[in-house]
Amino acid sequence: MRLRRVTETAPQEAIDGSPGWKAWLEGPAQEIEIATHDDLQWADGVAMGTPTRYGNVSAQLKQFMDTTGPLWAQGLLAGKAYTGFTSAMNTHGGNESTLLALYNTLHHWGGVIVAPGYTDPALYAAGGNPYGTSHATGPNNEPPSDLVLTAARHQGSRLADIAGKLAG
């Protein structure tokens, strides 16, 4: 398994204006390698996460996906398993629209979208989002509950299972 993050593209002044963002970027993020095209080629299955930005995919993740034209043109992104997860401040603040927007690009890649659906009771317990695990952070950007993490683990395990079958 490879854990990756995409390049931070926001202006420094925006980062400086958000203590949590700055602390994450200068701290734990430094331990995580930046995603490359090689990572996408290497993987049989990819779980992509993005916070909602006005009900949409973050510009940072979109920027990375928008550099993949050469891979796409060679069909190197097709036939792999993909899934998505997200967070928003509010339960109904755009979690579902963000995942559907993410899946637009993955459809164009020819990806096999592995949505969790309602394939496990953990999905219901975590709020019942069939498009992918989602976390409502609340105004204080709280971490996800154990219920949400359990649903995420089910989603990851399902991705690995289907990716393995696709890869033969």
Ligand X SMILES: Cc1cc2nc3c(=O)[nH]c(=O)nc-3n(C[C@H](O)[C@H](O)[C@H](O)COP(=O)(O)O)c2cc1C
Could you tell me the smallest distance in angstroms from the CB atom of residue 163 to ligand X?
26
Distance CA 158, CA 168 (A): 15
- Of the pair 119, 141, the CB lying nearest ligand X is at 141
Closest distance of CB 141 from ligand X, Å:
6
By CB neighbour count within 10 A (0-12 exposed, 13-18 middle, 19+ buried), where does 109 fall? Answer: buried
Farthest-apart Cα atoms in the chain, separation: 48
The smaller minimum CB distance to ligand X, of residues 83 and 95, is found at: 95
- Residue 162 Cβ, how far from ligand X at the closest point, in Å? 26
Q: Which is nearer to ligand X, 67 or 141 (CB)?
A: 141
* Interface positions with ligand X (CB under 6 A): 51-55, 87-90, 93-94, 137, 141
Query: Residue 62: is it exposed, middle or buried by C-beta count within 10 angstroms (0-12/13-18/19+)?
Result: middle
Chain residue at closest Cβ approach to ligand X? 93
Residue 90 identity (one-letter amino acid): N
Name the residue nearer to ligand X (CB basis): 97 or 163: 97
